[in-house]
Amino acid sequence: MKDNLMQAIVFETPGDPEVMHLGEVPLPVPGVKQVRIKVVAAGVNRADTLQRRGKYPPPPGASPLLGLEVSGVIDSVGTGCLKWKAGDRVMGLLSGGGYAQYVIMHEDMVMAVPDTLNLVNAAAIPEVFLTAYQSLVWLSHLQARETILIHAGASGVGTAAIQLALAMDAVPIVTASKEKHNLCSQLGARATIDYKSTDFAEEVKRISGGQGVDVIVDFIGGPYFKKNIEILNNDGRIVLLATMGGVKVEGFNLLNLITHRISVMGSTLRARSTEYQSRLTHEFWKYARHLFEDGSLRPVVDKIFTLHEAAMAHRLVEENKTAGKIILRIEE
């Protein structure tokens, strides 16, 4: 660290993965109740690829650098921070700035990484598990013995949602590309549907003996909406987290929602206040820490790249070739 500068991934103009390169940026200084973390690893998220393309600007006040989650070791603390000390092994969610040697984080957003967890793999936890926990517990109020359909089951959020659904004694079923079914089954999916070769709604009806599902976590949006409604039980809930397949729904009959008492919820975690994210972090880690310690939950890491290889990492995500999480290891 020279002249209070650090290395980070930067880009001058939005575009393809190759616009990213290593650069030098000011070393962040922890403010009141903030900690500075020496980053060991950063999780790669689809949102990073959209931000790199100029299609997902960081929320006001956020770091302009890419990176929504990190693991690492606390390097220094700001005034008034009483919860953490230098040397603590930690991880947490960020509104930006993770693709760098150091980040600052509010003390309430920090989770302690247990000794049983490898610090590099821990970077695969915050974004996808917090999103899945929020979707299953806070939004859809998933109950034991309910059936939940998780679209894109092998996605980062999908792999976390399968595990959390099982931990809650619910029954997870998924849609995913065929070559990703093994992973979903190993994580506990009770049924896997190849949405490319079959009609997922017909498959759900067949698997459930016409019963349908109670909750759906969806990232596809437009093209799935009518079919999702068709296979929801009475009092069913849909949590819509992304629109990877499109944003429009034509010719939908709203009576379907009324007669079956369906709730449709949309959510985006990144734009939430620090106060909201801190509450979520605190509640999630109180619930999940021992489950990670005893191996009931695990970070699902597909591949690990160095910071220099960020472009390769982004390409894999954009080409839908990943199953679980892609991690950037920050080198010394």
The contact set with ligand NAP (CB under 6 A) reads 45-47, 127-128, 131, 152, 154-158, 176-177, 180, 219-220, 241-242, 244-245, 267-269, 317, 320, 322
**Smallest separation (angstroms) from ligand NAP to the CB of 245:** 4
Nearer to ligand NAP, 233 or 320 (CB): 320
Nearer to ligand NAP, 34 or 277 (CB): 277
Nearer to ligand NAP, 77 or 162 (CB): 162
Nearer to ligand NAP, 157 or 165 (CB): 157
Residue that the structure tokens 């690492």 belong to:
72
Nearer to ligand NAP, 7 or 155 (CB): 155
**Smallest separation (angstroms) from ligand NAP to the CB of 181:** 9
- Say if residues 132 and 325 touch (Cβ distance below 8 Å): no
Nearest to 109 by CA among 96, 133, 126, 85: 126
Nearer to ligand NAP, 36 or 314 (CB): 314
**What is d(CA 135, CA 212) in angstroms, rounded to the nearest whole number?**
19
**Smallest separation (angstroms) from ligand NAP to the CB of 127:** 6
**What is d(CA 32, CA 47) in angstroms, rounded to the nearest whole number?**
28
**What is d(CA 197, CA 220) in angstroms, rounded to the nearest whole number?**
17
**Smallest separation (angstroms) from ligand NAP to the CB of 270:** 6
**Smallest separation (angstroms) from ligand NAP to the CB of 18:** 19
* Beta strand extents in 136-225 (DSSP E only): 147-150, 171-176, 191-194, 213-218
Q: Give whole-number Cα distances, 199 to 149, 204, 210, 229, in Å.
A: 14, 9, 14, 14
- Say if residues 127 and 43 touch (Cβ distance below 8 Å): yes
Q: Which helix (H) or strand (E) holds 96?
A: none
**Smallest separation (angstroms) from ligand NAP to the CB of 53:** 12
Q: Is 332 exposed, middle or buried (0-12, 13-18, 19+ CB in 10 A)?
A: exposed
**What secondary structure letter does DSSP report for 130?**
H
Nearer to ligand NAP, 47 or 105 (CB): 47
Nearest residue to ligand NAP by CB is 155
- Say if residues 177 and 152 touch (Cβ distance below 8 Å): no
**Smallest separation (angstroms) from ligand NAP to the CB of 268:** 4
The one-letter code for the residue type at 256 is N
Residue that the structure tokens 């379907």 belong to:
256
β-pairing, 232-240 vs 213-218, is: parallel
